[in-house]
Structure formats: structure tokens, C-alpha cells
Amino acid sequence: MLYQPLDCSVLICRDTDVAQRTSAFTDDYAKTLSDDPIEGFAFFEETIELSRRFRALKIWLSLRYHGLAAFREAIRNNLRQARLLAELIEKDPNSSCLRRSN
């Protein structure tokens, strides 16, 4: 979807306190090594990162980098290509096995 690798999704959270309470679980294997608020920030305590990948990042970065116009144009091009392929198949006498039977 949207020219991304498989396995993309988005989670929007209004209340970070709820996200922290929901996802905070730091066992010995995942403890932060610093109490510094910047260096010791454990991103996985605010997301479901330890159990699942950060799927939305792929989409967000692509949209930010390329912009919506690039995605719209790519989709228009894909639709144009699909129409062209359908026309070529219809015109090809050897493609009868690909046509639907009514």
C-alpha cells in the first residue's frame, strides 16, 4: 500500500500518559542505561515497539520526504499503466486465455 513494504500501520495517540502506562514494561533485557531525560528516553515505553515494528514510520517518512503530490502522480501513472495493459491484452489475439468468459 502506498508503495511501501508490507506491514505498515498507523497508531495515533492523544494522551501520551495513557500510552506510557499501557506500554511501559521494562525488564532486565530492556532497561535504559541512563537517567538523563534525553539519553535515557526509552521509545518503546510509549509504543508497542517491543512487540511490533514501528510500521507507521515508513509511511510517514515517505509522505514527508516525497509529499502527497508525488503519491497522487504515482497512483495516476499506475492507473494509466493498468488501462494500457488491459488494452494491449484485449488487442492481442493470443491473449484469449486471459479474457473472462461470460
Q: Which residues make Cβ contacts (< 8 Å) with residue 40, sequence separation at least 6?
A: 32, 33, 34
Per 3-state DSSP, what percentage of the chain is helix, strand, and coil (rounded to 5)?
55, 0, 45
3-state secondary structure of 52: coil
Distance, in Å, from the CA atom of 13 to the CA atom of 19, rounded to the nearest integer, reads 7
Summarised one tens digit per residue, pLDDT across range 78-89 is: 999 999 999 999
Q: How far does Cα 33 stand from its chain's mean position? A: 31
Integer Rg of the chain from CA = 23
Using alpha carbons, list the distances in angstroms from residue 21 to 25, 26, 69.
9, 12, 38
Q: pTM of the full predicted structure?
A: 0.48
Task: Kindly list the domain boundaries of the chain, sorted by start residue.
Answer: 16-96
Summarised one tens digit per residue, pLDDT across range 6-57 is: 666 555 677 877 777 776 666 666 666 777 766 666 666 665 555 556 667 7
